[in-house]
């Protein structure tokens, strides 16, 4: 048996070194004579493990002290619904900038709880570009502006952080967490599921400026109050302990890789290699996203004829390249090349694509 290169969009590849460590510690963790899954989240061993993960995340991302870092259940989708409840009252307005599927979903999850305004949308163009901020119709006095720095399905990524003045920026970083350095102080909230860049499914990371919480004036069930999670180190109820532990190991691995700067440079090289092979294929492979907003994490591409999709995927699997089938909404292929994908994996994909083109072009 041999592990293949896994291009799955999420849950996605984890570093092999992390999985081996999990395997080593599966039966007995940290001298607890039990696995990490079997001990209390209130015990010192887990509290230490949780705190270390938070420290490493803060260090890797340069999170300022006036931000809380939460490790929650529910996924990005639940947070897309909880954040509107936690950031303002029902009569406030929130602006949404839509550049793909996940922005739309965040908007739908906000609508029951707050007035919403679509400040910009590139839907009519098939979500292949980003509306320039100069054209955004922002609401004066909005509670926040929500956007998706990397749209996982459409493969559209912001190469800049929008300037919304004093209006807090709320960003769904699910598919780009810690994929490059980011200035956290520019954001009100950064949130995302771990299952793309940082760990297994089941844990959601929220980095939130503390002064934004607890001021909404709503009568929320205590478990929906993020301020309760913030003041209880994300242990207001049982946290996803196993996922939290694995995220901690991935964060250690990221530090060994050289941190956000090094991982960002590696991710840039990987995506440049793949886009160069698509663009240099004489039109055999095509990615239609505007060049200045192509994603470094998710690279969708189509073949000249959809009838070639099946043979392409079959040959890819035989060559040890998994998870390349595109999202059902778009068809074609998608290569997700998150932090854990080594450049060798991208090189193997590029080599396979060239071979396949020679045989079918
Ligand atoms: C995967 C993804 C989601 C959905 O995350 P869940 O954890 O399934 O709720 C939301 N937003 C983005 C940008 C994603 O990539």
Q: How far is the CA of 77 from the centre of ligand 1 (A)?
A: 6
| Pocket (CB within 6 angstroms of ligand 1) | 10, 75-77, 102, 148, 152, 172, 174-175, 193, 196
User: What does the pLDDT read at residue 111?
Assistant: 98
- The domain spans of the chain are 16-256, 258-360
Asked: is 16-256 a CATH 3.10.450.50 domain? The reply is: no
Q: What angle do CA 98, 7, 127 make, to 5 degrees?
A: 20
User: What does the pLDDT read at residue 313?
Assistant: 98
Residue 247 burial by CB count (10 A; 0-12/13-18/19+): exposed, middle or buried? buried
User: What does the pLDDT read at residue 214?
Assistant: 93
- Is 196 considered catalytic here? yes
Q: Which long-range contacts (CB under 8 A, 24 or more apart) does 317-320 make?
A: 317/4, 319/348, 319/352, 320/2, 320/4, 320/5, 320/348
Query: Which residue, by CA, sits nearest to atom 3 of ligand 1?
Result: 76
User: What does the pLDDT read at residue 361?
Assistant: 85
Architecture of domain 258-360: Alpha-Beta Complex (3.90)
Query: Which residue, by CA, sits nearest to atom 14 of ligand 1?
Result: 174
Which whole-number Å values give the CA distances from 358 to 41, 150, 317, 352, in the listed order?
A: 55, 32, 18, 10
Q: How far apart are CA 71 and CA 238, in angstroms?
A: 11
User: What does the pLDDT read at residue 122?
Assistant: 98
Candidate list 29, 56, 95, 172, residue with the active-site label: 172
Helix (H, G, I), strand (E, B) or coil at 35: coil
Q: How far apart are CA 145 and CA 155, in angstroms?
A: 21
Q: Comparing 16-256 with 258-360, is the CATH topology the same?
A: no
Only one residue has tokens 């460590």, namely 21
User: What does the pLDDT read at residue 1?
Assistant: 58
Asked if 171 and 189 count as a contact pair (C-beta separation under 8 A), the reply is: yes
Q: Return the percent helix, strand and coil in the chain, to nearest 5.
A: 40, 15, 45
Q: How far is the CA of 105 from the centre of ligand 1 (A)?
A: 9
Q: pLDDT digit of tens for each residue in the chain (361 aa)? A: 589 999 999 999 999 999 999 999 999 999 999 999 999 999 999 999 999 999 999 999 999 999 999 999 999 999 999 999 999 999 999 999 999 999 999 999 999 999 999 999 999 999 999 999 999 999 999 999 999 999 999 999 999 999 999 999 999 999 999 999 999 999 999 999 999 999 999 999 999 999 999 999 999 999 999 999 999 999 999 999 999 999 999 999 999 999 999 999 999 999 999 999 999 999 999 999 999 999 999 999 999 999 999 999 999 999 999 999 999 989 999 999 999 999 999 999 999 999 999 999 8
Q: Which long-range contacts (CB under 8 A, 24 or more apart) does 222-225 make?
A: 224/82, 224/85, 224/86, 225/86
Q: How far is the CA of 185 from the centre of ligand 1 (A)?
A: 23
Q: How far apart are CA 299 and CA 306, in angstroms?
A: 17
């Amino acid at each position: 048996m041999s592990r293949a290169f896994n291009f799955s969009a999420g849950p996605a590849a984890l570093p092999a070194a992390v999985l081996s460590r999990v395997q080593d510690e599966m039966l007995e963790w940290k001298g607890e004579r039990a696995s990490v899954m079997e001990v209390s989240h209130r015990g010192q061993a887990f509290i230490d493990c949780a705190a270390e993960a938070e420290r490493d995340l803060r260090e890797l991302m340069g999170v300022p002290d006036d931000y809380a870092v939460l490790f929650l259940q529910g996924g990005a989708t639940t947070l897309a619904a909880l954040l509107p409840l936690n950031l303002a009252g029902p009569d406030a307005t929130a602006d949404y900038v839509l550049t793909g599927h996940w922005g739309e979903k965040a908007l739908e999850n906000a609508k029951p709880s707050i007035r919403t305004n679509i400040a910009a949308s590139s839907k009519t163009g098939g979500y292949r570009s980003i509306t320039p901020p100069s054209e955004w119709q922002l609401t004066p006095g909005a509670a926040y502006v929500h956007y998706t720095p990397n749209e996982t399905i459409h493969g559209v990524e912001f190469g800049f952080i929008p300037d919304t003045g004093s209006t807090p920026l709320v960003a769904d970083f699910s598919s780009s967490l810690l994929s490059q350095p980011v200035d956290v102080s520019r954001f009100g909230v950064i949130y995302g599921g771990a299952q793309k860049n940082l760990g297994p499914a089941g844990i959601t990371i929220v980095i939130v400026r503390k002064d934004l919480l607890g001021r909404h004036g709503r009568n929320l069930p205590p478990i929906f109050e993020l301020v309760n999670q913030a003041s209880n180190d994300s242990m207001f109820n049982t946290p996803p302990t196993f996922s939290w532990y694995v995220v901690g190991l991935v964060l250690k691995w990221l530090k060994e890789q050289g941190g956000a700067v090094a991982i960002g440079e590696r991710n840039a090289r990987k995506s440049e290699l793949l886009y160069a092979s698509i663009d240099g294929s004489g039109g055999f492979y095509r990615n239609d996203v505007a060049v200045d907003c192509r994603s470094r994490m998710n690279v969708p591409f189509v073949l000249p004829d959809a009838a070639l999709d099946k043979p392409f995927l079959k040959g890819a699997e035989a060559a040890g390249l998994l998870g390349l089938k595109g999202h059902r909404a778009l068809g074609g292929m998608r290569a997700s090349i998150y932090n854990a994908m080594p450049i060798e994996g991208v090189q193997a994909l590029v080599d396979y694509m060239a071979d396949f083109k020679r045989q079918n072009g």
